[in-house]
């Protein structure tokens, strides 16, 4: 599931397309339901044809292709979308082709097995509206402990749930939320308003450390094998998962706890009950007669 590290890997992997011209945008002959493209293909092709790709960015979990027309192509892979320069995993899930001119690669393709993703062409104003600060928080890898704390410290939501809120902080999904909280030693059910300043610091440090390590390893390719880099190669960070999908395994960090799975906001949460204790309340709870 592409989260920040996977999308960042995609971005780096397709960097060679900068400077190329878009020759044509076309749908691949995919028999499955077409993915969402906005505007519709005709207009999309018309508005992009002949433009030059001037840069590549990332906005949280979205890939941003900047054009010299000042418009931007925003690719949102959701669960299974991939931006590829070559050899897609198969032909039947190939959804969109962006044919290129004047560079070393002939086309950029969008492949998506479940088809939940989207490809959109946005004018500057639309981009600002849809991906601006009102909709997307600061990028998880380029923010500060103070900023995160400021945004969340009065919230009564569980910290794990809040980390998935892209308006609070952008780029974290279910997998990395679990990994980050484990490294930070914070129980996923702790409410935001219960975290102390030093815990926000620990959370921020863990966030940067986990996401940067995951980028170094080119993301996580899970058992379903869906996530791949621009050249259709697997990531390697899954070998370093401490808690995600590790239910029943011994925690590698403490060697004592067994990883458990709970459900929060209809999503699986994995954690180590030894490394991530709920805040002790013994001290202040006068109980008994």
The reply to whether 29 sits near DNA by the rule CB under 7 A is: no
Judge whether 188 counts as a catalytic residue: no
C-alpha span between 30 and 117 (Å, rounded): 15
By CB under 7 A, tell whether 205 contacts DNA: no
Calpha distance 242→61 (Å, rounded): 22
Contact 270, 260 (CB under 8 A): yes
Task: Considering the candidates 11, 47, 58, 61, report the single residue annotated as catalytic.
Answer: 61
A 10 A CB-CB count for 205 gives: 14
**At closest approach, how far in Å is the CB of 107 from DNA?**
22
Report the relative pairing of strands 62-67 and 53-59 from DSSP bridges. antiparallel
- The answer to whether 181 touches 276, Cβ cutoff 8 Å, is yes
Q: Which stretch binds DNA (CB under 7 A): 63-71, 137-145, 157-165, 251-259?
A: 157-165
Task: Specify whether 3 is catalytic.
Answer: yes
259-278: contacts with DNA (CB under 7 A): 265-268
From 10-18, 111-119, 139-147, 203-211, span contacting DNA (CB under 7 A) = 111-119
Q: Is 209 in the site for DNA (CB under 7 A)?
A: no
Strand pairing category for 94-101 and 72-76: unpaired
Stretch that binds DNA, among 107-115, 139-147, 212-220, 252-260 (CB under 7 A): 107-115
Active site residue 11: no
Instruction: Tell me whether strands 118-122 and 36-38 are parallel, antiparallel or unpaired.
Output: parallel
**Distance from CA of residue 88 to its chain's centroid?**
20
Helix residue spans in the chain (DSSP H): 4-13, 41-48, 124-131, 145-152, 159-163, 174-184, 197-216
Residue 42 is a binding residue for DNA (CB under 7 A): no
Could you say which residues in the range 169-198 bind DNA, by CB under 7 A?
A: 173-175
Structure tokens at 142: 């380029």
- Considering the complex, state which of residue 67 and residue 131 has its C-beta at the smaller distance from DNA: 131
Point out which span in 46-54, 168-176, 201-209, 248-256 binds DNA (CB under 7 A).
168-176
- One of 9, 20, 113, 246 touching DNA (CB under 7 A): 113
Whole-number Å distance between alpha carbons of 150 and 195 = 12
Residues of this chain that bind DNA (CB under 7 A): 1, 3, 32-33, 60-62, 76, 78-79, 92-93, 113-116, 130, 135, 154-158, 161, 164, 166, 173-175, 223-224, 265-268
Catalytic residues: 2-3, 61, 267
């Amino acid at each position: 599931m592409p989260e920040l590290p996977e999308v960042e890997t995609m971005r780096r992997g397709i960097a060679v397309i900068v400077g190329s011209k878009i020759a044509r945008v076309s749908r691949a002959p995919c028999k499955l339901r077409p993915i969402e493209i906005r505007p519709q293909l005709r207009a999309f092709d018309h508005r992009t044809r002949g433009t030059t790709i001037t840069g590549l960015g990332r906005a949280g979990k979205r890939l941003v292709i900047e054009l010299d027309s000042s418009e931007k192509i925003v690719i949102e892979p959701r669960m299974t979308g991939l931006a590829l320069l070559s050899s897609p995993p198969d032909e039947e899930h190939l959804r969109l082709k962006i044919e290129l001119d004047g560079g070393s690669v002939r086309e950029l393709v969008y492949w998506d097995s479940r088809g939940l993703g989207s490809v959109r062409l946005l004018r500057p104003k639309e981009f600002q509206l849809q991906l601006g600060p009102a909709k997307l928080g600061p990028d998880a890898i380029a923010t500060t402990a103070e900023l995160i704390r400021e945004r969340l410290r009065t919230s009564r939501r569980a910290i794990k749930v809040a980390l998935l809120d892209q308006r609070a902080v952008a780029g974290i999904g279910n997998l990395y939320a679990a990994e980050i909280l484990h490294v930070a030693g914070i129980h996923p059910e702790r409410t935001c308003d219960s975290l102390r300043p030093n815990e926000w610091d620990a959370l921020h440090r863990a966030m940067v450390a986990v996401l940067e390590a995951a980028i170094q390893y080119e993301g996580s390719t899970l058992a379903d094998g869906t996530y791949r880099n621009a050249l259709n190669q697997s990531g390697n960070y899954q070998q370093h998962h401490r808690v995600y999908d590790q239910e029943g395994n011994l925690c590698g960090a403490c060697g004592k706890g067994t990883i458990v799975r709970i459900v929060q906001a209809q999503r699986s949460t994995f954690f180590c009950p030894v490394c991530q204790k709920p805040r002790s309340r013994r001290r202040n709870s006068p109980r008994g007669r």
